[in-house]
Amino acid sequence: NAGVMQNPRHLVRRRGQEARLRCSPMKGHSHVYWYRQLPEEGLKFMVYLQKENIIDESGMPKERFSAEFPKEGPSILRIQQVVRGDSAAYFCASSQGEGKPQHFGDGTRLSIL
């Protein structure tokens, strides 16, 4: 029974490049959440998606960041034209819905050179 799968575990990009982070939720989970963790800080919510729909993107920066959860395939968090400040650990979580706990992946650690 696989948990939440994120890949890659580590991603290095140069300033100005694009970063794509992937998340496959647990089997049977239709709710996906993305969080960002800066060094020595807690997790900050970015976006909440269900299949083909963005439910809440209140934590997502207005520019350069986008997320999707297509009908088929993993959820993707995309960061265009990365800058040094984007360096962080990005965590994906999934759940079965209201009142159910979120289960987290091991994260993608993004480093910007």
Q: Which parts of this chain interact with other proteins (CB under 8 A)? A: 4, 6, 31, 33, 35, 41-45, 48, 56, 58-59, 91, 93, 95, 97-107, 109
| Rounded Cα–Cα distance for residues 34 and 44 (Å) | 9
Of the pair 1, 14, the CB lying nearest other proteins is at 1
Peptide bond into 70 cis (omega under 30): no
Instruction: Please give the structure tokens belonging to residue 87.
Output: 């360096």
| Cα-Cα-Cα-Cα dihedral sign, residues 39, 43, 48, 49 | positive
Of the pair 66, 102, the CB lying nearest other proteins is at 102
| Minimal distance, residue 43 CB to other proteins, in Å | 5
| Minimal distance, residue 103 CB to other proteins, in Å | 7
